[in-house]
A and B are shown apart, each in its own frame.
Chain A
Amino acid sequence: MLLIFLHLYLVLPSPGIVFIWDRIFTEESLFCCSAVGGRNMLLWWFLGLAGSIVHCRGQVSKCDDFTDLDFRETFMGTNLNVKLLLFTRANLDCGRELSHLKLMDQPLFQLTRPTAFVIHGYRPTGAPPVWVGHIVHLLAAQEDMNILVVDWNRGAANLNYYSAVANTRKAAENITAFIQNIQENGALLSSVHLIGVSLGAHVAGFVGAMLKGKIGRITALDPAGPLFSGTPPEERLDPTDAQFVDVLHTDTDALGYRGPLGHIDFYANGGADQPGCPKTIFSGKSYFVCDHQRSVFLYLCSLNKTCNITAYPCSSYHDFLDGRCLQCESFKPASCPIVGYHASKWKDSLLRLGQTKVYFSTTAVSPYCKTNYKVDIVTWNQYTRWGIVVIKLHSGRRVVEARIDHKLSKFEQYTATRLLAQFDEDLNPVQKITLCFLTGNMIGPRYKMRLLRIRLTPLEKPDRPQLCRYDMILEENMEVSFRPMACDGSRN
Chain B
Amino acid sequence: MNGDIELQHFPTETDESFDKNNLQNEHAVRHQETACEDQSFHDKPEATEESHLLSAEQNNGVHGIQRGGTGKRSFVIDVTLEKKNQPTEPEPVTLVPERNSVSAPALQATAESENATGGKDLLGRLNRKVVWRLRLWMIIALILLVVAILAIVLGLVLWEVLYEDEDDKFDRKSFVVPLFYNGSLRLVSQDVPEDLLTSNQSRALIEKELYSLYNSSPALGRYFSGVGLTTVRNGSVTANYWLKFLMPQEHKQLLRYTLSREMVYNVLRQHLYDQEPGAGPLLYIDPAAIHMEGGNGTLISN
User: Taking the nearest CB of chain A, how far is it from the CB of B245, in angstroms?
Assistant: 14
Q: Would B160 and A380 count as touching, CB distance under 8 A?
A: no
Which residues of chain B from 144 to 194 have any CB-CB distance to chain A below 8 Å in the complex? 156, 159-160, 163, 165-167
Tell me, in angstroms, the Cα distance from A421 to B282 when the chains sit together: 40
Which residues of chain B from 243 to 271 have any CB-CB distance to chain A below 8 Å in the complex? 253, 256-258, 262-263, 265-267, 269-270
- Our pick among A445, A469, A488 for the contact of B265 (Cβ within 8 Å) is A488
Q: Would A488 and B262 count as touching, CB distance under 8 A?
A: yes
Tell me, in angstroms, the Cα distance from A144 to B156 when the chains sit together: 73
Tell me, in angstroms, the Cα distance from A470 to B271 when the chains sit together: 10
Beyond A452-B257, A468-B266, A491-B262, is A444–B156 a contact (Cβ under 8 Å)?
A: yes
Residues of B within 8 A of A470 (CB): 263, 266-267, 270
A2 interface hit (Cβ, 8 Å): no
- Our pick among B163, B165, B219, B273 for the contact of A471 (Cβ within 8 Å) is B219
Tell me, in angstroms, the Cα distance from A380 to B273 when the chains sit together: 24
Residue of A nearest to B159 (CB): A444
Q: A178-219: contact bitstring with B at CB < 8 Å (1 yes, 0 no)?
A: 000000000000000000000000000000000000000000
Residues of B within 8 A of A382 (CB): 166-167
Q: Would A452 and B167 count as touching, CB distance under 8 A?
A: no
Of the listed residues A443, A450, A471, A483, the one surrounded by the most CB atoms of chain B closer than 10 A to its CB is A471
Q: Would A380 and B219 count as touching, CB distance under 8 A?
A: yes
Beyond A381-B167, A452-B263, A453-B263, is A444–B160 a contact (Cβ under 8 Å)?
A: yes
Tell me, in angstroms, the Cα distance from A378 to B220 when the chains sit together: 15
A485 interface hit (Cβ, 8 Å): yes
Q: A367-391: contact bitstring with B at CB < 8 Å (1 yes, 0 no)?
A: 0000000000010111100000000
Tell me, in angstroms, the Cα distance from A485 to B218 when the chains sit together: 19
Residues of B within 8 A of A468 (CB): 266, 270
Q: Would B262 and A383 count as touching, CB distance under 8 A?
A: no
Residues of A within 8 A of B219 (CB): 380, 450, 452, 471
A472 interface hit (Cβ, 8 Å): yes
B195 interface hit (Cβ, 8 Å): no
Q: Would A488 and B269 count as touching, CB distance under 8 A?
A: yes
Residues of B within 8 A of A41 (CB): none
Q: Would A483 and B269 count as touching, CB distance under 8 A?
A: no
User: Taking the nearest CB of chain A, how far is it from the CB of B3, in angstroms?
Assistant: 38
Tell me, in angstroms, the Cα distance from A445 to B265 when the chains sit together: 33
A62 interface hit (Cβ, 8 Å): no
A19 interface hit (Cβ, 8 Å): no
Residues of B within 8 A of A131 (CB): none
A448 interface hit (Cβ, 8 Å): yes
Q: Would B257 and A378 count as touching, CB distance under 8 A?
A: yes
Q: Would A383 and B166 count as touching, CB distance under 8 A?
A: yes
User: Taking the nearest CB of chain A, how far is it from the CB of B116, in angstroms?
Assistant: 45
Residues of A within 8 A of B165 (CB): 448
B274 interface hit (Cβ, 8 Å): yes
Residue of B nearest to A451 (CB): B219
Q: Would B159 and A380 count as touching, CB distance under 8 A?
A: no
Residues of B within 8 A of A444 (CB): 156, 159-160, 163
A353 interface hit (Cβ, 8 Å): no
Residue of B nearest to A472 (CB): B218
Residues of B within 8 A of A485 (CB): 269-270, 273
Tell me, in angstroms, the Cα distance from A471 to B217 when the chains sit together: 7
Q: B200-244: contact bitstring with A at CB < 8 Å (1 yes, 0 no)?
A: 000000000000000001111000000000000000000000000
Tell me, in angstroms, the Cα distance from A472 to B218 when the chains sit together: 7
Residue of A nearest to B266 (CB): A470
Beyond A472-B218, A491-B262, is A380–B156 a contact (Cβ under 8 Å)?
A: no
A414 interface hit (Cβ, 8 Å): yes
User: Taking the nearest CB of chain B, how far is it from the CB of A470, in angstroms?
Assistant: 4
Tell me, in angstroms, the Cα distance from A445 to B269 when the chains sit together: 33
A473 interface hit (Cβ, 8 Å): yes
Residue of B nearest to A490 (CB): B262
Q: Would A448 and B167 count as touching, CB distance under 8 A?
A: yes
Tell me, in angstroms, the Cα distance from A319 to B262 when the chains sit together: 30
Q: A447-462: contact bitstring with B at CB < 8 Å (1 yes, 0 no)?
A: 0101011000000000
Residues of B within 8 A of A414 (CB): 253, 256-257
Residues of A within 8 A of B256 (CB): 414
Residues of B within 8 A of A469 (CB): 270
Of the listed residues B165, B166, B217, B269, the one surrounded by the most CB atoms of chain A closer than 10 A to its CB is B165
Q: Would A471 and B263 count as touching, CB distance under 8 A?
A: yes
Which residues of chain A from 422 to 450 have any CB-CB distance to chain B below 8 Å in the complex? 443-445, 448, 450
Which residues of chain A from 300 to 335 have any CB-CB distance to chain B below 8 Å in the complex? none
Tell me, in angstroms, the Cα distance from A469 to B266 when the chains sit together: 8
User: Taking the nearest CB of chain B, how far is it from the CB of A31, in angstroms?
Assistant: 45
Residues of B within 8 A of A452 (CB): 219, 257-258, 263
User: Taking the nearest CB of chain A, how far is it from the CB of B89, in angstroms?
Assistant: 37
Residues of A within 8 A of B166 (CB): 382-383
User: Taking the nearest CB of chain B, how far is it from the CB of A450, in angstroms?
Assistant: 6
Q: Would B274 and A483 count as touching, CB distance under 8 A?
A: yes
30 CB contacts below 8 A, A to B, read A378-B257, A380-B257, A380-B258, A381-B167, A382-B166, A383-B166, A444-B156, A444-B159, A444-B160, A444-B163, A445-B160, A450-B167, A452-B219, A452-B263, A453-B262, A468-B266, A469-B270, A470-B267, A470-B270, A471-B217, A471-B220, A471-B263, A471-B266, A472-B218, A483-B273, A485-B269, A485-B273, A488-B265, A488-B266, A491-B262
Q: Lowest 3 CB-CB distances: which A-B pairs, in order? A: A445-B163, A470-B266, A445-B160
Further pairs besides A380-B258, A471-B266: 16, Cβ < 8 Å: A380-B167, A414-B253, A414-B256, A445-B159, A445-B160, A452-B257, A453-B262, A453-B266, A470-B266, A471-B263, A471-B267, A472-B218, A483-B274, A485-B270, A488-B262, A488-B266
A residues at B contact (CB < 8 Å): 378, 380-383, 414, 443-445, 448, 450, 452-453, 468-473, 483, 485, 488, 491
